[in-house]
Structure 1
Amino acid sequence: MSSPGAGILAGIRVLDFSRMLSGPYCTMMLADHGAEVIKIESPEGDTSRTNGPYRSDDPERLWAGYFVSLNRSKKSVVLDLKSDEGKAAVRDLAKTSHVIVENYRPGVMERLGLGYESLAESNPALVYAAIRGFGDPRSGSSPYADWPSYDVVAQAMGGLISMTGQDRDHPMKTGPGIGDVFTGLMMSFAIVAAVRHAEKTGLGQFVDIGMYDAMLSLCERMVYQYDMEGTVAEASGNGHPLLAPFGLFPASDGWISIGVVDDAFWRELARIMERPDLATDQRLASKAGRRRHSAEVNDAVAGWTRRFSKVELAEMLGGKLPFGPVNDARDVFADPHVAARGLIASIPHPVAGHAPWRVAGNPVHFNRTPAITPTTPPKLGEDNTRILAAVKSPAA
């Protein structure tokens, strides 16, 4: 059983070969809940170490926000995977690890002699997790298998961009790197499931996910719409193709969101708007009717919301129906919900006297095994001596 404060994944060792966002986000989820995550980095380090942004108290640019956010509570070991010594160290570490995570293109680790099948010979319980742009040939060979891929490519090919933006002539990607983040999140689930299976059977396995595949899963509505109606889901601006009113509406000082998903909420909104005619109009009484007359419905609601500020609308709508203001970073930092839920985490700075970094906290809560208190992200190669010495002298 995990000790208090150790996290629900305490005792799980993860070798993390991943870089940038998708893999590091995946292993961040594991580290936040107690897994021992050891970043295996090249002598140059994870590319995100040099991506910025940097604080003004970091003139040497050692601590990029991109890196700090994703790599808290991890360890760093520098190895040259092209050298015999580096490969031997990986093999030794893999013998005592539960999970390996990497996001190289297919075949890279195999060419180094460090693929799943090779490492599993000495550790049959090993879970080997591979994040690829288009999946791994082991689970289905893609014609794009060798294409490099980043977030914007996954968003584009997986359908997300075609559904985002004002209309089909103005496609738009989402702001956050959802192609990476969602893929990494799905892989963290897959890893936990595979580790559970390994604990029960003693057998690990190869687990892979393609970023394209994850985006298609995220865009599940486009699949059933095309299958059931023969319609191609397209960008619908700030509205929704199936529901009304549902989306963003103007306030006098910004924007708010409203999501009317059933008839009772529609009647309540009409009451608050002091528009009994909307509540009694039989054309608009059902979801199907409001969908047919969505332009009329959305115009009526927008005409009303733009008369009030976000605070005034919150007083009228908050708790009555699905409603929320459109927040930016300043709003989020000031929101009492964020404080109450611990959604901004403080990461200790390694230099005494320097303020801690603030990053997005882990949103998953366990009442018996909460997320661990995050620790400072590692300096490049910080843990080489201790971890590699322990491998060479396991009894020490």
Structure 2
Amino acid sequence: MSPSASGALSGIRIIDLTQALSGPFCTSLFADHGADVIKIEPPRGDMIRRTGPFAEDDEHKDFGNVFQNANRNKRSLVLDLKVPEGRQAFLDLVRTADAVVENFSMGVMDRLGLGYESLAEINPRLVYTSIRGFGDHRGGRSPYAHWPAFDIVAQAMGGLMSITGPEADIRVRVGSGIGDSVPGLFAAFGTMTALFEAQRSGRGQYVDTAMVDSVLAVSEVAVNVYDATGRSPQPIGNQLQGFAPFDTVRAKDGEVALGAPHRPQWTQLCQIMGRPELIEDPRFDTDNKRWTHRGEVYAIVKEWAARYTVAELKGLLGGKVPLGPILDAKAIFADPHFAARQMLPTVENPRTGGTTQITGPVSKLSRTPATIRRRAPLLGEHSEQVLREAGYGPEKIRALQTAGATTIPDPTDHVLQGVTP
């Protein structure tokens, strides 16, 4: 276990074979809460290391902000699993692990002789989690099982793009990588569930998470509307099927998001607007009627909101009716809420000598809080440390290096350490 680890998951060891975003996001949740997450990378490193954005003064372009955010609190060990010596070192680590998480294409680990069944023979308590575009055959064989997938594919086939956009003929993806981060969340939950059960039974199990399934699970509008009506819902901008008012409205100097779809909120809004007669108006006196007559509802609300500035609307509605200004990144970095919640902690950027702000832990535990203890690792930064903990002496480590199974960065070369040629 890392000597600096703390938190609710201190003592848990996760072997992280993931790359890109979905898997690293999953395992970062464990690392934030104190688990010892050993990120095993091939000699070339995680592909997302070389994906921007980068700081303007970063000349190396191999330690991007996406990688930094998704891999904080982890240790990096280089192992080439295609080399026999690398596979053996991996198996030695598995013996002491609580979980393995990977997001390779289906069958990759099996072809290496490192699939779940093989690993479970040497560690029956092992929880093995995979994240794939369409899942693994162990959880239900999809006809698309061998299709590669990215976030945009998961959003498209999971139903989210069908209900996102300004109008029916324009479908758009959600601006962030929901097709990666949501599967990461479900995979983390499934892994934690299996780890909890393993404490009772002494037996691990396979946790199969599909990106497309995960997106479908949070596309409840598509499922609920189709099941109830037989019709596929269409994009309706910022509104939400069945809820009104629930939209963005324009003020004198900007826009705000406003939601008052239920009677208590609608009543409060009508009183603040100076229109108490609308509360019992037969067009608007139930939640469903307000949705049915939403055109009239929005005409009233938007005409009223347009009289005020964003600041004035915050003063009138803040704390009474759900309302929020639309914050861009600059506003978020300056907003006191995110500072108070420690949602933008600062870590070192070893490539520039400066610092980087990343997103902080969301779940705030009162007694064993999650913490950001270290920046994301340079490639192979902890190879020697982790191998020594596994019982490898200097000669055995040198043998791994000679076989091309691992790399040990020069500890005195702080600039070039971890750079992939």
TM tier relative to shorter chain: over 0.9
- Residue 251 (structure 1) aligned with residue 251 (structure 2): yes
Letter in 2 for 1:171: R
Q: Give 1:59 shift.
A: 2.0
Q: Give 1:123 shift.
A: 0.2
Partner of residue 343, structure 1:
343
Letter in 1 for 2:175: G
The TM-score with structure 1 as length reference comes to 0.95
Distance 1:180 1:259 in 2: 28
Deviations 1:224-283 (A, max 9, x none): 221222221221111122011012111222211111131121121112112234234221
SS of residue in 2 equivalent to 1:130: strand
Q: Give 1:339 shift.
A: 1.0
Partner of residue 231, structure 1:
231
| Structure 1, 118-127 or 191-200: larger mean CA deviation | 191-200
The TM-score with structure 2 as length reference comes to 0.90
Partner of residue 107, structure 1:
107
Conserved in 1, the CA contact under 8 Å of 2:5 and 2:36? no
- Residue 363 (structure 1) aligned with residue 337 (structure 2): no
Distance 2:277 2:389 in 1: 75
Distance 1:386 1:298 in 2: 62
Letter in 2 for 1:35: A
Conserved in 2, the CA contact under 8 Å of 1:5 and 1:369? no
Matching of residues 179-190 of structure 1 within 5 Å: 179-190=179-190
Partner of residue 374, structure 1:
373
Letter in 2 for 1:326: I
Partner of residue 260, structure 1:
260
Distance 2:383 2:211 in 1: 31
SS of residue in 2 equivalent to 1:58: coil
Conserved in 1, the CA contact under 8 Å of 2:221 and 2:241? no
SS of residue in 1 equivalent to 2:69: helix
Conserved in 1, the CA contact under 8 Å of 2:14 and 2:35? yes
Partner of residue 205, structure 1:
205
| Structure 1, 271-280 or 91-100: larger mean CA deviation | 271-280
Matching of residues 307-322 of structure 1 within 5 Å: 307-322=307-322
Conserved in 2, the CA contact under 8 Å of 1:346 and 1:374? no
- Residue 72 (structure 1) aligned with residue 75 (structure 2): no
Conserved in 1, the CA contact under 8 Å of 2:15 and 2:40? yes
- Residue 82 (structure 1) aligned with residue 64 (structure 2): no
Matching of residues 4-153 of structure 1 within 5 Å: 6-153=6-153
Distance 2:240 2:125 in 1: 46
Matching of residues 146-161 of structure 1 within 5 Å: 146-161=146-161
Deviations 1:133-191 (A, max 9, x none): 00110111100000000100000000000010012200011000001001101111111
Deviations 1:335-354 (A, max 9, x none): 11111111111113347x93
Conserved in 1, the CA contact under 8 Å of 2:105 and 2:148? yes
- Residue 354 (structure 1) aligned with residue 363 (structure 2): no
Deviations 1:307-360 (A, max 9, x none): 222111100000111111111111111111111111111113347x93321011
RMSD: 1.8
SS of residue in 2 equivalent to 1:256: strand
Conserved in 2, the CA contact under 8 Å of 1:16 and 1:39? yes
Distance 1:74 1:319 in 2: 40
Distance 1:16 1:174 in 2: 27
Distance 1:365 1:172 in 2: 33
Percent same amino acid among aligned pairs?
A: 44
Letter in 1 for 2:165: G
The gaps in structure 1 that reach 5 residues or longer are: none
Conserved in 2, the CA contact under 8 Å of 1:22 and 1:184? yes
Letter in 1 for 2:139: S
Distance 1:5 1:48 in 2: 25
The gaps in structure 2 that reach 5 residues or longer are: 394-421
Q: Give 1:386 shift.
A: 1.4
Distance 1:5 1:54 in 2: 28
Distance 2:60 2:167 in 1: 45
Q: Give 1:24 shift.
A: 0.4
Distance 1:5 1:12 in 2: 10
Partner of residue 411, structure 2:
none
Distance 2:241 2:385 in 1: 56
Partner of residue 288, structure 2:
288
Distance 1:227 1:35, change over 3 A: same
| Structure 1, 11-20 or 305-314: larger mean CA deviation | 305-314
Letter in 2 for 1:288: N
Deviations 1:19-59 (A, max 9, x none): 11000000011111101111111111001110011113322
Distance 2:373 2:305 in 1: 41
Partner of residue 166, structure 1:
166
Conserved in 2, the CA contact under 8 Å of 1:49 and 1:63? yes
Distance 1:325 1:225, change over 3 A: same
Task: Count the aligned residue pairs.
Answer: 392
Distance 2:337 2:5 in 1: 24
Q: Give 1:393 shift.
A: 4.4
Q: Give 1:5 shift.
A: 7.5
Letter in 1 for 2:310: K
